[in-house]
Amino acid sequence: MKDFGPILAALRRHRTATLLIALEIALACAVLCNACFLIASRMGLMHIESGVDESSLALIKLDCDDCNSADLNARAMAALRAVPGVQSVAAVNTVPFADRAGDNGITLDREHYVAVPHFYLGGPGAVETLGLHIAEGQPFRPEDFRTGDVWVPSDTPVWISRALADKLWPGQSALGKEFWATDKFHFRVVGVLAHLVRPDPGGTRGSGAAEWTVFAPMAPGNVLKGVYAVRAAPADLPRVLREARDAAQKAVPEAVLDVQQSRTVSDLRDDFFRPTRVMAGMLVGVIVALLLVTAMGIVGLASFWVQQRRKQIGIRRAIGATRSDILRYFQTENFLIVSGGIVVGMLLAIALNLALMKVYELPRLPMFYLPIGAAVLWLLGQLAVLGPAMRAAAVPPVVATRSV
């Protein structure tokens, strides 16, 4: 384009102002791409399939360090089963979106850790109470439910999530495969679950490990005590939960009811993702503020240059330049500045994502966010410069030529 030469010459004469605007755009590009990716990934995580029947489930948690485990479980479960509307009760160590209860590193060769899944423990009836369904494999047998001294028995058949199976044995069937958690605890895969989310999806292990889970059968005892999954019809569940809380406290008065955890799974999910919604709102505010500041910077610079170039504009108008020519000149100039900032911004976006990956275990930034961010900033730049450019195009040649 014939305007490129004069535009580049003008930009070289105003290097500092051009560089500052380009750097502002670069920063906006880096933040915009990563913030949008973070919002999309976190909001997507909010809709993750838990793998349990959330609408029919509630959790009751009792804390009692000095209680006899067998007596605690017997009294609490009998009281919960007696609540009208309760369909089933099972001892568990936790449920999705409740407190973590059993993260543990695992190995395939007893030496090198390959993943850190969450271990769900469930007593007899837990599979039916939680509403778990295996995609392949076999159900647990009654003899699989055994007690453990400090954790699970040393040789335990387990179900694992499809996500963990793909992590451990990509492209292979996980059935019959074995893994270890230290030399003492050996596990054999007898079933694969399509979905089972960990209690803290996207938490300390990152969103990529949201479904790295193991479900192990275990008899209630010293390890599995005080935490119970309660199943009821969705319409009855709020009432059942209130009565179940009262029944548990009356049956085991020496125990303390954990009110924060003794809730429906739907409420636990909502509470777990509340910080995510707040974070998404804050990031949206940051994005809007950053784009607004960037647009104001472009408007300010363009307005300043229009004022400085009134004489040159008048001369061009006097020798035949149309309003469209003047408008196109400023839009092209702005396009070049924004493009330079975007190129640097893309590199900054990738570098920022790599830093976030190391610190927060975020996934890699998909490359399609870069052209999206570029398109947004190009559009923003053209809209921001439009007002000053139209004012420049509207300057009458006579007035402009008399300006000094």
Segment 242-262, tens digit of pLDDT = 999 999 999 999 999 999 999
Higher pLDDT, 363 or 249: 249
Q: Does the structure show a pLDDT above 70 at 398? A: no
Kindly report the average pLDDT of the chain as a whole number: 88
pLDDT at 9: 62
- Asked if residue 139 has pLDDT above 80, the reply is yes
pLDDT the model gives residue 270 = 95
pLDDT band at 360 (very low <50, low <70, confident <90, very high): low
Q: What is the pLDDT of residue 284?
A: 92
Most confident of 192-206, 242-256, 341-355: 242-256
Convert the pLDDT of each residue in 11-35 to its tens digit.
666 677 778 888 989 999 999 998 9
Instruction: Give me the percent of the chain exceeding a pLDDT of 70.
Output: 92
Q: What is the pLDDT of residue 66?
A: 81
Q: In which band, very low, low, confident or very high, does the pLDDT at 266 lie, cut at 50, 70 and 90?
A: very high
Overall pTM > 0.85: no
pLDDT of residue 359: 67
Work out the average pLDDT over 217-246: 95
Label residue 404 by pLDDT band (50, 70, 90): very low
Check whether 83 has a pLDDT greater than 70. yes
pLDDT digits (tens, 9 = 90+) for 182-191: 878 999 999 9
pLDDT tops 90 at residue 211: yes
Across 346-361, average pLDDT: 81
Residue 403: its pLDDT value, please?
44
For the chain, give the secondary structure using H, E and C. CCCHHHHHHHHHHCHHHHHHHHHHHHHHHHHHHHHHHHHHHHHHHCCCCCCCCHHHEEEEEEECCCCCHHHHHHHHHHHHHCCCCEEEEEEECCCCCCCCCCECCEECCCCCEEECCEEEEECCCHHHHHCCCEEEECCCCHHHCCCCCCCCCCEEEEEEEHHHHHHHCCCCCCCCCEEEECCCEEEEEEEEECCCCCCCCCCCCCHHHCCCEEEEECCCCCCCCCEEEEEECCCCHHHHHHHHHHHHHHHCCCCEECCCCCCEHHHHHHHHCHHHHHHHHHHHHHHHHHHHHHHHHHHHHHHHHHHHCHHHHHHHHHCCCCHHHHHHHHHHHHHHHHHHHHHHHHHHHHHHHHHHHHHHCCCCCCCCHHHHHHHHHHHHHHHHHHHHHHHHHCCCHHHHHCCC
Q: pLDDT digits over 38-60, tens only?
A: 888 888 888 899 999 999 999 99
